[in-house]
Amino acid sequence: MPAMKARPIVPASGKAQGATGDARLSWYETGDEPSFTPRELEVATLLSHGHTLRSAAAALGIGHSTVRTHVKNLLFKTGSNKTTGAVVHLLRRGLIQ
C-alpha cells in the first residue's frame, strides 16, 4: 500500500486542520501510526462479523450513539470515509479478526 501524504488545510486563522475539518491531524498527515482503544477494536470486530451499529451496541451493552462515536474515531484514525474501509484497514494489519 503506498504511503499517503496529505497536506493539512490551513485556514485564514493559520491553524492547521485535519482532513476531517477539525483541528486534529490524522495519522497519515503526521506519519505516526494510530493507536486504537480496546473498545474501538471490539466495535470493529463486531462490524467485521456482520453486525449493524445497533446490534453491535446491544451486544456490547452500550448506546447506538456511542457505537457511532467509536466508528467516527475509527474512520478518522484509519483515514477512511466508509466503515467498510476502516474495518478492512484493521483486518489487513491484523488488529482484528
Domains identified in the chain and CATH numbers: 1-33 (no CATH), 35-92 (1.10.10.10)
Average pLDDT for 39-60: 97
51: pLDDT strictly greater than 80: yes
Question: Residue 17 forms beta bridges with which residues?
Answer: 9
Residue type, 77: K
H or E element that contains 72 = helix 64-78
Mean pLDDT of the chain: 81
Per residue in 67-87, pLDDT (tens digit) is 999 999 999 999 899 999 999
φ, ψ of residue 82 in degrees (nearest 5) = -135, 145
Buried b (16+ CB within 10 A) or exposed e, 66-75: ebeebbebbb
pTM of the full predicted structure? 0.69
- Band (pLDDT 50/70/90 cuts) for residue 33 is confident
Give me the torsion for CA of 17, 18, 23, 28, rounded to 10°. Answer: -130
16: pLDDT strictly greater than 60: no
